[in-house]
């Protein structure tokens, strides 16, 4: 017998309902999922009266029922993160597929099902999660606020119109709250709207575009900024169009300029080539950080630097070989890009290539790499199954006052500064977006700062860390110390610290 179960189209409704169904031992083949507010829901009318009903906000069975707690215990934590993302998708079968996965993991002994990437259900939810991730990213990049007025207390009020593909407004709202905390804003979408008044984030039903005010004092600012950052030599129209699909152009004041700028592009490029060579472009040292403080500009800065979504890892690597976003390229032998499985479950992020990595062009092939490999071996993990990369892709070094070797002065590792970490961040985030690992493990301060930002401190924040709010990553990020920290310790202290390092890796891998 098929039972109709109607939920509000959000994760918490589905989770509460799924727990009830599981507790009542109802197999997925007997459940027909539909959503409130959809024609299907109306067609099928009332829920199955044989089941307890629950709505968001009511006590959840799982919180009080011991057998339910046991169920939650057997479900890998990563499933709920994945399910929360998939819940934002608009595919009508997502609830059924999620419930089937839950059933198989808890009732059919397939506890590790999520790692079986050939499984059709797993493949579908992963694909959906990726699509939602992309939509989250697009909304962050393409929302443009228009100033509508100033309150008597002097608070500026802004509105934006956006048409996401999926139900991502609630999921993305905390990002906008954090980024635009100092102003009042509303983001209107056809599905749902989000509002921030400096104190509280609230939501209201969707609206049509005509309800989003038209007046825009910021447009000229956006336009002139866009014009100033436009570099004809980097023009890749196809890439631009797919990163910034036409659908979004109409909301972007700077988009009007694209036509003119592209028409002039070849002439401007020739002029640039003909210009006498100047000193290397000054490093955009703290460009990113300055822009971070200037809230109006941040979206454009990220957009200008963002790695196009459809670019493959090897194309990204090729482009990174010419990266001049900071001065480190000048003294390094080559760019050391990440390497490993493109669908790795775990991504390990180090600080920057060392002397040997710089010469070999591969990450983690020197002494720190050896230590890392020995720990991986101990844990039964093969390097080939991972994706290894660094927060900074060029070796930063200074000549040793003491030594020379056959290649010249001995090179001493120097710490990358904030500007250099920030300049390299688009590559790192591009790699994360492509590989989409379940677990990120950062090694040392610089790697942690590459993800979380400059306030990260490894010895304080070691363990599970929150990824940056503007990073599209739905897995878990962990931090531990860098292997070269262990190598620098006096031998007597190294054993204990190494054991802690092994445990950190073990804990991180257990979430994959
Ligand atoms: N240290 C790192 O952080 N990365 C490497 O690739 C090598 C050493």
SS (H, E, C) 441-485: EEEHHHHHHHHHCCCCCHHHHCEEECCCCCCCCCCEEEEECCHHH
Going by pLDDT thresholds of 50, 70 and 90, the confidence category of residue 250 is low
Measure 328 CA to ligand 1 centroid, in angstroms. Answer: 15
Q: Which atom in ligand 1 lies closest to the alpha carbon of residue 364?
A: 6
Q: Which domain holds residue 204?
A: 143-211
* Highest-scoring range by mean pLDDT, 263-277, 289-303, 388-402: 388-402
CA 203 to mean position of chain CA atoms: 24
CA 66 to mean position of chain CA atoms: 35
- Domain check: are 321 and 199 in the same one? no
Give the span between the Cα atoms of 507 and 512, in whole angstroms. Answer: 10
- Domain check: are 345 and 379 in the same one? yes
- Domain check: are 245 and 315 in the same one? no
* Highest-scoring range by mean pLDDT, 170-179, 294-303, 458-467: 170-179
User: Which of 179, 211, 243 lies at the terminal end of a domain, its last residue?
Assistant: 211
Measure 362 CA to ligand 1 centroid, in angstroms. Answer: 9
The pTM score is 0.47
- Predicted local confidence at residue 228, as pLDDT: 46
- Domain check: are 222 and 207 in the same one? no
Assess whether pLDDT exceeds 50 at residue 42: no
Confirm if 245 and 216 have CB atoms less than 8 A apart: no
Instruction: Kindly state whether residue 109 falls inside one of the protein's structural domains.
Output: yes
- Domain check: are 368 and 503 in the same one? yes
Q: Which atom in ligand 1 lies closest to the alpha carbon of residue 388?
A: 6
Measure 489 CA to ligand 1 centroid, in angstroms. Answer: 17
Instruction: Kindly state whether residue 283 falls inside one of the protein's structural domains.
Output: no
Pocket of ligand 1 (CB under 6 A): 350-354, 357, 363-364, 366, 368-369, 390
- Domain check: are 394 and 309 in the same one? yes
- Domain check: are 377 and 438 in the same one? yes
Assess whether pLDDT exceeds 90 at residue 296: no
Task: Give the number of domains in the chain.
Answer: 4
Give the span between the Cα atoms of 138 and 324, in whole angstroms. Answer: 26
- Domain check: are 431 and 497 in the same one? yes
- Domain check: are 374 and 250 in the same one? no
Assess whether pLDDT exceeds 80 at residue 348: yes
- Domain check: are 314 and 453 in the same one? yes
- Number of neighbours of residue 28 by Cβ within 10 angstroms: 20
- Domain check: are 416 and 500 in the same one? yes
Instruction: Kindly state whether residue 136 falls inside one of the protein's structural domains.
Output: no
Instruction: Kindly state whether residue 280 falls inside one of the protein's structural domains.
Output: no
Instruction: Kindly state whether residue 405 falls inside one of the protein's structural domains.
Output: no
142-180 residue pLDDT tens: 787 777 777 777 777 788 888 999 999 999 998 888 777
Domain CATH for 331: 3.40.470.10
Instruction: Kindly state whether residue 77 falls inside one of the protein's structural domains.
Output: yes
């Amino acid at each position: 017998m098929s039972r109709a179960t109607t939920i509000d189209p959000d994760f918490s409704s589905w989770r509460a309902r799924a727990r009830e169904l599981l507790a009542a031992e109802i197999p997925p083949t007997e459940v027909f999922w539909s959503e409130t507010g959809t024609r299907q829901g109306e067609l099928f009318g009332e829920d199955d009266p044989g089941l307890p009903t629950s709505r968001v906000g009511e006590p959840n069975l799982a919180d009080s029922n011991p057998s339910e707690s046991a169920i939650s215990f057997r479900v890998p934590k990563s499933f709920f993160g994945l399910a929360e993302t998939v819940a934002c998708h608009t595919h009508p079968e997502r609830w059924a597929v999620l419930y089937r996965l839950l059933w198989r993991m808890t009732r059919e002994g397939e506890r590790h099902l999520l790692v079986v990437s050939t499984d059709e259900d797993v493949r579908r939810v992963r694909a959906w999660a990726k699509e939602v991730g992309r939509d989250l990213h697009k909304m962050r990049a393409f929302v443009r606020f228009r100033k509508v007025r100033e309150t008597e207390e002097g608070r500026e009020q802004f509105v934006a119109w956006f048409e996401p593909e999926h139900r991502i407004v609630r999921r993305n709202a905390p990002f906008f709250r954090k980024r635009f905390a100092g102003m009042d804003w509303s983001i209107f979408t056809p599905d749902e709207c989000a509002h921030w008044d400096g104190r509280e984030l609230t939501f209201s039903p969707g609206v049509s575009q005509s309800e989003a005010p038209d007046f825009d004092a910021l447009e000229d600012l956006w336009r002139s900024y866009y014009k100033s950052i436009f570099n004809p030599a980097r023009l890749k129209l196809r890439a631009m169009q797919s990163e910034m699909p036409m659908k979004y152009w109409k909301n972007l004041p700077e988009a009007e300029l694209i036509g003119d700028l592209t028409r002039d592009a070849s002439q401007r490029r020739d002029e640039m080539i003909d210009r006498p060579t100047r000193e290397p472009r000054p490093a955009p040292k703290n460009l990113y950080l300055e822009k971070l403080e200037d809230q109006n500009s941040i979206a454009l800065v990220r957009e200008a630097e963002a790695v196009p979504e459809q670019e493959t890892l090897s194309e990204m690597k090729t482009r990174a070989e010419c990266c001049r976003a900071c001065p480190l390229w000048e003294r390094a032998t080559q760019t050391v890009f990440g390497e490993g499985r493109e669908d790795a479950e775990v991504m390990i992020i180090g600080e920057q290539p060392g002397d040997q990595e710089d010469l070999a062009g591969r990450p983690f092939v020197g002494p720190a790499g050896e230590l890392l490999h020995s720990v991986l071996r101990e844990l039964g993990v093969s390097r080939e199954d991972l994706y290894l990369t660094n927060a900074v892709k060029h070796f930063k070094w200074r000549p040793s006052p003491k030594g020379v070797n056959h290649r010249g002065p001995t090179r001493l590792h120097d710490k990358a500064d904030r500007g250099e970490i920030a300049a390299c961040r688009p590559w790192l985030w591009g790699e994360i977006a492509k590989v989409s690992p379940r677990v990120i493990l950062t090694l040392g301060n610089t790697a942690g700062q590459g993800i979380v930002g400059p306030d990260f401190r490894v010895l304080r924040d070691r363990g599970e860390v929150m990824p940056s709010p503007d990073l599209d990553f739905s897995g878990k990020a962990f931090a531990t110390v860098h292997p070269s920290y262990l190598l620098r310790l006096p031998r007597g202290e190294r054993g204990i610290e190494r054991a802690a390092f092994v445990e950190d890796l073990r804990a991180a891998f257990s979430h994959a």
